[in-house]
Amino acid sequence: MGWFFPIIALFIAFIWIRYFRDIDIFEREKWGPMVLSFFLGACSVALVFWISPLLGKALGIKLSGNWLDDFLFIFIQVAGLEELAKVLAFGLSFLLMRKQFNEPLDYLIYCSLSALGFSAFENILYFNSAGASIIVARGILSTVGHMFNTALFAYGIILFRFRYNKSRPALILLFFILAALAHTFYNFPLMHQGMRIYGYLLTLIYFLSTISIYAAILNNALNQSPFFSYQKVIDSTTVSSRLLTSYILLFFIQLGLMYWEDRDLGYSLMRFKEDMITTGFVVLVSSVRLSRFLLIKGRWHPLRLELPFSFGHTGLGSSILSHRFRIKGDAYNAVYLHRYWHQWVWIRPVPGQEEFPLENARAYIESKHFIQGDLAVYKVQVEQEGSLQYFGIAPKLRGSQFIGDEKFPIAALFEWPDTLDEPAVLAKTKAKKLKLLGWVALIPSPESDSLLES
């Protein structure tokens, strides 16, 4: 069955290559350069095999059960060496394909792909050694962990080049050290003998916390793109659905291979249930959080080491498992509203409202802005009986957000006084200060009116 493991490792890699193409909305990378970077990352494993024994002899450090010895061994001979190998593969990608690096996200993508190649080769080795039972766990934890660690180094380059105008070169070295430390913190609970009882749980908690940072640095890179346009948005539903369905398929592949190995259906199903609860939760949270981005041109979101979910009402999150559990990030999928960007659309009152100030009106979505709390609002030009007037609309974030099978977006219609044209005033405006006129559905043509009643 060992011949099948490389196919699985490549399938896991494909999941994430497709992910990067899905979120790379402003200037999408081509498949060829991405695959080349992945291949170079896979080849970098050979460098680790060659240097690791030499480094071990030179330094004389090894796992001994002592906290300091184990930390130094993991930091230098495991994490540091592996991050160096992945960074060198990325550097070769940069030299070979320099023209591909024309926006900040490219640095994150190609660093992540280098790590993805490294992880794929490593996964094949582990699958052959430990069997099918670790496929999904390594497919999400080790794979994304490798990408996150190396992406930290890329983020140092992004800060150096795009935030500080090449004035702080030490950032590159600093973030390489942070990448090695992040790798160490992931490995230490798993490798230190004194923590093995609860080490896996600690690694899970740490991994989930890094997802928040990974989402933030990807978001920041997108926000700084020279090709940034509010017309383009990430289809968060498609991104998360593709990740989830791919990993669900991986769960069933693992189940089938475990049964093939052990010929014990009861044991295989028991492990399947356990993995669906633990690893499945990690897959769910990671897939959803890494699909949610708040795209604001020029904005640098702070990096916080925090769990990517919470309990209770928090900001823009939406309920996933119950009315209390929320995964963080901008939960509104703006793709349905943005399909009408810079177009005339008809606005119709949502059924059930007693009064509505506009009749037979249509609106032109002119621009996107953000008020206090980073809530998106849109300035629209409304035409009614030959007269033009400016209003604002804000997407509905709670409850039913769309109407009909065509998913016509529901939005709040509010007055747009001239003072809101001043950026400083707009940024400090609270949602409750906007004068609500009613709830409307945006539809492409009057013929769609009948669909509002369905």
Residue range 53-93, pLDDT digits in tens = 988 888 888 888 888 999 999 999 999 999 999 999 999 99
What was the pLDDT predicted at 11? 97
> Does residue 314 belong to any structural domain of this protein?
no
3-state secondary structure 62-97: CCCCCHHHHHHHHHHHHHHHHHHHHHHHHHHHHHHC
Q: Name the range with the highest mean pLDDT among 44-58, 98-112, 373-387, 395-409.
A: 98-112
Q: Would you say residue 144 has pLDDT above 90?
A: yes
- Report the pLDDT averaged over residues 351-366: 81
Single residue among 296, 311, 343 that ends a domain in this structure: 296
Kindly state whether residues 289 and 376 are assigned to the same domain: no
Kindly state whether residues 215 and 79 are assigned to the same domain: yes
Kindly state whether residues 160 and 226 are assigned to the same domain: yes
- Selection from 114, 307, 112, 302 nearest residue 220 by Cα: 302
Q: Which residues pair with 379 in a beta bridge?
A: 367, 392
Determine the Cα–Cα distance for residues 18 and 244; give it in Å rounded to an integer. Answer: 13
> Does residue 200 belong to any structural domain of this protein?
yes
Kindly state whether residues 375 and 254 are assigned to the same domain: no
Pairing, β 325-327 against β 408-415? unpaired
> Does residue 322 belong to any structural domain of this protein?
no
Q: Apex CA 147: angle with CA 145 and CA 153, to 5°?
A: 110
Kindly state whether residues 142 and 269 are assigned to the same domain: yes
> Does residue 453 belong to any structural domain of this protein?
no
Taking residue 428's Cβ as centre, other Cβ atoms within 10 Å add up to 11
Kindly state whether residues 35 and 179 are assigned to the same domain: yes
Segment 128-137, tens digit of pLDDT: 998 888 999 9
Kindly state whether residues 78 and 25 are assigned to the same domain: yes
**Tell me, what amino acid is at 68?**
L
pLDDT band of residue 319 (cuts 50, 70, 90) is very low
Structure tokens at 446: 């009057």
State how far the alpha carbon of 134 is from the alpha carbons of 83, 268, 446, in Å. Answer: 23, 12, 55
Residues in the chain: 454
Kindly state whether residues 287 and 339 are assigned to the same domain: no
pLDDT band of residue 237 (cuts 50, 70, 90) is very high
Kindly state whether residues 227 and 345 are assigned to the same domain: no
What was the pLDDT predicted at 321? 40
Kindly state whether residues 248 and 101 are assigned to the same domain: yes
Taking residue 88's Cβ as centre, other Cβ atoms within 10 Å add up to 15
Segment 201-219, tens digit of pLDDT: 999 999 999 999 999 999 9
User: Is the CB of residue 153 less than 8 Å from the CB of residue 179?
Assistant: yes
Q: Does residue 451 or residue 28 have the better pLDDT? A: 28
Range of lowest pLDDT (261-275, 308-322, 416-430)? 308-322
Give the whole-number percent of the chain exceeding pLDDT 90.
60
State how far the alpha carbon of 365 is from the alpha carbons of 208, 284, 397, in Å. Answer: 38, 34, 18
Q: Would you say residue 365 has pLDDT above 80?
A: yes
Structure tokens at 345: 């659309």
Kindly state whether residues 145 and 193 are assigned to the same domain: yes
- Report the pLDDT averaged over residues 323-342: 84
Averaged pLDDT of the chain? 89
Single residue among 267, 296, 325 that ends a domain in this structure: 296
- Report the pLDDT averaged over residues 334-362: 84
What was the pLDDT predicted at 454? 47
Determine the Cα–Cα distance for residues 336 and 408; give it in Å rounded to an integer. Answer: 7
> Does residue 312 belong to any structural domain of this protein?
no
> Does residue 311 belong to any structural domain of this protein?
no
pLDDT band of residue 355 (cuts 50, 70, 90) is confident
Determine the Cα–Cα distance for residues 82 and 54; give it in Å rounded to an integer. Answer: 14
pLDDT band of residue 102 (cuts 50, 70, 90) is very high
What was the pLDDT predicted at 1? 63
> Does residue 327 belong to any structural domain of this protein?
no
Determine the Cα–Cα distance for residues 247 and 249; give it in Å rounded to an integer. Answer: 5
Single residue among 248, 277, 296 that ends a domain in this structure: 296
> Does residue 326 belong to any structural domain of this protein?
no
What was the pLDDT predicted at 275? 86
Segment 161-213, tens digit of pLDDT: 999 988 889 999 999 999 999 999 999 999 888 787 788 999 999 999 999 99
Kindly state whether residues 248 and 371 are assigned to the same domain: no
Domain interval for residue 157: 3-296
- Report the pLDDT averaged over residues 252-280: 87
Total tally of structural domains belonging to the chain = 2
